[in-house]
């Protein structure tokens, strides 16, 4: 039977398909469950949830749309061009998209998440002197929408915002961050001597609101896009240069680079999505009859990608038939019958797949009173086809809470590590322990 947390309880961790709960959120409960196994505690990070919800609401986008249409009309009249009048803008759909607003560093126990309209919170669990999180703020960083740690780039963080992308880096004894010429310096100190510095600002060609990011696995290139544009940009970060690539007309909802780097996935609000091979940047268009793609996650070897659609309770798994650079692929449904039969939900909200491919986290819209606001955890099998078995549900701290965002740590050695920002103002981390060599 799937583990179900009773109302009023809070989830602490998973141990061998059993999701452990406690009466309240505390470090003592964590010590008694996973702490003695892992040798580390992941204390919750407090934040003002109202600030995060404001940052993710569509009100800012709606205001931008109204002013954008007016300025576009004036520009069309003055320049004789009507191109700006037909820019695809899908503001009302923004709240349904799984923007990457929470991210773990690949090789460090450092968590970053958007905690307000213009700010990012960083919590370093390896810093014994820095138990308080650090807040990243800069005058260039406005209307933050998504973020992503740079692979193989030390402690560098990309933040998508209005007009472009902020690149932050940690500067500490033995590792001095270099700032690109012309960038307004922003430094935030920590008790341990670590400083977070804004080292670069990648300016969008049309100063658009960037909403989605994805790094190439080697960390050399960064893909970004805006919901108001049909093009995405591939940035050579070292050079500070971006190359726009366009397919179709709809505004872009999300981008995902495969772990192998051979493939790239882009999706639009009009229901179309594209599979790319990154050698020649050739693409194959696909379309959906179940709404637009609102979430996507690659499997560990990059041979398939799981996608969630805005009007479906079934996931889709896109399997590549042959090796790269072939774009021959098949879309196969991944059934999740419990989401409808147990929860009474009307649709999937967000998904996250851990880098080992063994655990899938999923939130859903609405649902019955008992199941509303929970996160479903699935045990995933990938051979020969992807199948998912429900382990149970995670309940966050507080009354009538819901998950705002969640993400897995990609390289946590002891198993999947899931962090969740809850509407109650807690960012909680849940170790999912099920390997025999980890347990005593």
Do residues 56 and 99 make contact, with C-beta atoms less than 8 angstroms apart?
Answer: yes
* pLDDT attached to residue 60: 46
d(CA 48, CA 395): 19
Name the 3-class secondary structure at 389. Answer: strand
Distances (CA, A) of 366 to 173, 263, 401, 403: 49, 34, 12, 12
| CA 243 – CA 232 distance, rounded (Å) | 8
**Measured on CA atoms in the order 120, 124, 127, 131, is the torsion positive or negative?**
positive
Four-residue CA torsion sign, 376, 32, 423, 369: positive
Across the chain, how many H-helices and E-strands are there?
A: 5, 31
Q: What contacts 220, CB < 8 A, 6 or more positions away? A: 236, 237, 238
Mean pLDDT per 10-residue run, the chain (440 residues)?
A: 94 96 94 92 90 63 41 36 39 67 94 94 82 88 95 93 95 75 61 78 90 96 94 95 91 95 96 96 94 94 95 95 94 93 92 95 93 96 92 96 94 90 96 68
235: three-class secondary structure by DSSP: strand
Closest CA to 268 of 60, 90, 100: 90
Percent of the chain residues topping a pLDDT of 90: 70
Secondary-structure breakdown of the chain: helix, strand, coil percentages, each rounded to the nearest 5: 15, 45, 45
């Amino acid at each position: 039977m799937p583990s179900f947390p009773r109302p009023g309880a809070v989830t602490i961790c998973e141990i061998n398909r059993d999701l452990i709960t406690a009466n309240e959120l505390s470090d003592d409960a964590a010590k008694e469950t996973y702490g003695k196994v892992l040798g580390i505690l992941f204390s919750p990070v407090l934040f003002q949830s109202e600030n995060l919800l404001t940052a993710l609401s569509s009100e800012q986008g709606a205001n931008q749309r109204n002013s954008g249409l007016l300025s576009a009309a004036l520009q069309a009249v003055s320049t004789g061009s009507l191109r700006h009048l037909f820019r695809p803008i899908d503001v009302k759909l923004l709240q349904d998209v799984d923007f990457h607003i929470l991210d773990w560093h690949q090789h460090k126990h450092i968590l970053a998440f958007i905690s307000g309209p213009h700010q990012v919170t960083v919590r370093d669990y390896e810093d014994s002197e820095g138990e308080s999180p650090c807040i990243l703020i800069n005058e260039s960083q406005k209307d933050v929408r998504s973020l992503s740690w740079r692979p193989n780039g030390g402690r560098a963080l990309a933040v998508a915002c209005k007009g472009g992308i902020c690149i932050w880096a940690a500067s500490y004894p033995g590792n001095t961050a270099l700032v690109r010429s012309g960038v307004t310096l922003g430094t935030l100190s920590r008790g341990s001597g670590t400083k977070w510095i804004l080292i670069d600002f990648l300016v969008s060609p049309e100063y658009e609101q960037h909403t989605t990011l994805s790094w190439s696995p080697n960390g050399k290139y960064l893909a970004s896009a805006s919901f108001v544009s049909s093009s995405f940009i591939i940035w050579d970060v070292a050079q500070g240069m971006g190359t726009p690539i366009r397919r179709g007309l709809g505004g872009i909802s999300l981008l995902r680079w495969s772990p192998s780097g051979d493939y790239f996935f882009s999706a639009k609000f009009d229901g179309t999505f594209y599979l790319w091979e990154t050698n020649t940047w050739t693409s194959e268009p696909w379309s959906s009859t179940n709404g637009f793609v609102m979430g996507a996650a690659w499997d560990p070897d990059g041979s398939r990608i799981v996608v969630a659609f805005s009007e479906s309770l079934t996931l889709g798994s896109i399997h590549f038939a042959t090796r790269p650079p072939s774009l021959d692929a098949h879309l196969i449904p991944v059934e999740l019958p419990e989401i409808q039969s147990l929860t009474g939900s009307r649709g999937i909200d967000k998904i996250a797949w851990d880098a080992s491919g063994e655990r899938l986290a999923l939130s859903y819209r609405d649902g019955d009173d008992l199941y509303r606001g929970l996160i479903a955890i699935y045990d995933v099998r990938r051979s020969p086809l992807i199948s998912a078995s429900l382990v149970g549900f995670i309940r966050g701290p507080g009354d009538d809470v819901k998950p705002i965002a969640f993400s897995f740590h990609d390289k946590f050695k002891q198993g999947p590590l899931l962090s969740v920002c809850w509407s109650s103002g807690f960012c909680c981390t849940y170790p999912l322990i099920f390997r025999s060599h980890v347990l005593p």
